[in-house]
Amino acid sequence: MMNQYAPKVIVAGSVEKFRTKILALNKPARIVGFISFSGEYNGQHYDIDNDKTILINNKIIDISHLKSIADESKFDYIVFVDYFYFKSYAADLVQNSVLHGDRIITLDNFIYKSNNGFYSIYNESVLFSILYDIKVNTVLDVDSSFSAGNVYVKPDYIHNVTIDTIRSSSSSKFTVFNNVYDHIYDSLNDCRYHHYDAIIFSAERKLEDLLIEMYGMLAQADKFLVFISEDINLDKVSNLFSGEPMNGLTTFKEINCVSCVNGKWLLFNKQPFQDTGIYVVTHKKCEVNNLPDDYIIIHAGRKLGKDLGYIGDDTGQSISELNISINEMTAIYWIWKNTSHDYIGISHYRRFFSNKDNKDFITENILTSEQAREILKSYDIIVAKGEHHLFSTYTYIFGDSGPIITRLAINLTRNILERQYPDYVEAFDYVVYGNHIFKCNMFVTRKYVLDSYCSWLFSFILEAESEYRKFVNIEELNIKQRRVYGFICERMFNVWLMKNNLRIKELSIMENLNL
């Protein structure tokens, strides 16, 4: 952490001895003054024990003023060159100045800290306090900031806050820090679909690199806590992060600053995502009345049939003509390419997520967008409650579409997947020849999660379907045989879930059997 930053030091003892030791070891430091605790200067007496005064940079001050000097970031540490001098005065210095003890250290401790980024337990206390004040429930500590300090458990006042981190070469190897962290991931990729109330960046970065990293994770959090070293200009930070939106993304609406050792914690706040579209996919008149707010009926395959008066999947970027074979996937494709909701859901004209654990269709029990967003504070995706069947999912497609067509479509898909995404083949086999499935291509998630899934799926499934048509005349097949690639897409959704580390929430599906 902060490997390049040279902390500002007030020396207690021999400045020359401090400088000689630091230069010999090539340790970064900026001497900004010296301090003495008893004596006489310009005929005036000072004594920390008797009248609570000290000499700092040839000026006698009341010791109580020392904290305000530190708060103004005029120094980071008071370093005692001599241990016995430290033993005599350090405790009085802390007690009378209300200065955090981690800022008052021996020369040996300072040298050790220089190997560990000069991280301070005080910085952790400040960070914990910020997390408490902004009332977060989930946090991602990108740089394992807490494992660089001296706090081994979460304080009681944020005990219920979930804190995840990323394992790195700079992370502490001591397992005691598992008491601070709830989940330790091997890479950012393992939690790239997880949403957090706040994300922490504590390692020193160039501002331009920080901007890229934060915007890369913009959809994953509403708040970002960032450490910047003292020598970075705050106006430059504000201008960089509050300017024009980057790639069409929202800039931060507010940036707050809290001082700490060696620098500042910046709290970036952005407008929380709220816009939701839960699409009810249909190919005929949807007879469900009084749908909750944010539910939108979409006509899948409108290019192939009569206009029903709903939004159709045949405008903008569209593959509506493929509805005959890939079913509701033409609507999902259209939603992916042509909408910008923050949250996206897929339902069917006769199947809806239930906000109760029931399967009997009751309009009042349809999951609302508010309920979905609340669930997605703790989960990454809502899916239909998983089903475990006696026979494999391959066998079920076999039963619907017949052996020849099923085998052809499965093999074509697997071959293309093996060529384009070989690391997904094992998951493909597991799902296709396994017994468990999340059915119906129904889900609610954040838009960036849908974007990632669709980018993956449509990059190969359309090619597979096109290859399939070279062997089969779709027009000669019955309805279920034509839909074989719709059934395969249903399995591919499960393949993607198998390979990506999403926190999954299952909900019951209500089915209106009268439609």
pLDDT score of 297: 97
Residues 102 and 135 in one domain: no
Residues 221 and 302 in one domain: no
Please tell me the distance from the alpha carbon of residue 335 to that of residue 347, in angstroms, as a whole number: 13
pLDDT score of 244: 53
Residues 379 and 410 in one domain: yes
Residues 257 and 202 in one domain: yes
pLDDT score of 5: 67
- Structural domain contains residue 343: yes
Residues 175 and 192 in one domain: yes
- Structural domain contains residue 3: no
- Structural domain contains residue 465: yes
pLDDT score of 172: 65
Angle at 79 between CA 75 and CA 85, to 5 degrees: 135
Please tell me the distance from the alpha carbon of residue 136 to that of residue 383, in angstroms, as a whole number: 26
Closest CA to 227 of 253, 258, 197: 258
Backbone φ and ψ for 124, nearest 5 degrees, come out as: -65, -40
Residues 135 and 236 in one domain: yes
Buried/exposed code over 139-175 (b: 16+ C-beta within 10 A; e: otherwise): bbbbbbbbbbbebeebeeebeebbbbbbeeeebeeee
* Burial class of residue 199, CB neighbours in 10 A (0-12, 13-18, 19+): buried
H-helix or E-strand spanning residue 223? strand 221-229
Residues 99 and 186 in one domain: no
pLDDT score of 115: 60
Q: How far is CA 368 from CA 290, 353, 434, in A?
A: 12, 9, 32
- Structural domain contains residue 1: no
pLDDT, one tens digit per residue, over 289-330 is 899 999 999 999 999 989 999 999 999 999 999 999 999 999
Residues 237 and 280 in one domain: no
Please tell me the distance from the alpha carbon of residue 452 to that of residue 336, in angstroms, as a whole number: 10
Q: Domain range spanning residue 471? A: 276-511
Please tell me the distance from the alpha carbon of residue 225 to that of residue 199, in angstroms, as a whole number: 6
pLDDT, one tens digit per residue, over 367-417 is 999 999 999 999 999 999 998 888 888 888 888 788 899 999 999 999 999
Judge contact between 325 and 485, C-beta under 8 A. Answer: yes
pLDDT score of 250: 52
Please tell me the distance from the alpha carbon of residue 15 to that of residue 28, in angstroms, as a whole number: 15
Residues 302 and 155 in one domain: no
Closest CA to 86 of 163, 198, 11: 11
Please tell me the distance from the alpha carbon of residue 419 to that of residue 422, in angstroms, as a whole number: 6
Angle at 21 between CA 17 and CA 27, to 5 degrees: 135
H-helix or E-strand spanning residue 323? helix 323-326
Give mean pLDDT in consecutive 10-residue pieces for the chain, a chain of 515 residues.
68 93 84 94 93 94 90 87 91 84 88 68 86 95 81 88 85 76 92 95 84 87 88 73 53 80 86 88 91 96 93 97 95 97 95 91 94 94 92 84 90 96 97 93 96 97 95 88 92 96 95 79
Residues 281 and 250 in one domain: no
Residues 192 and 284 in one domain: no
Total-model pTM? 0.83
- Structural domain contains residue 2: no
CATH of the domain at 261: 3.40.50.150
Backbone φ and ψ for 414, nearest 5 degrees, come out as: -65, -40
pLDDT score of 316: 96
Number of domains in the chain: 3
* Burial class of residue 409, CB neighbours in 10 A (0-12, 13-18, 19+): buried
- Structural domain contains residue 345: yes
Tell which of 224, 245, 269 closes a domain: 269
- Structural domain contains residue 353: yes
**Please, what sign has the CA dihedral across residues 277, 281, 283, 285?**
negative
pLDDT score of 332: 98
Please tell me the distance from the alpha carbon of residue 495 to that of residue 392, in angstroms, as a whole number: 14
- Structural domain contains residue 426: yes
Residues 321 and 247 in one domain: no
From start to end of 77-171, where are the E strands?
Answer: 77-80, 104-106, 138-141, 162-166
pLDDT score of 160: 93
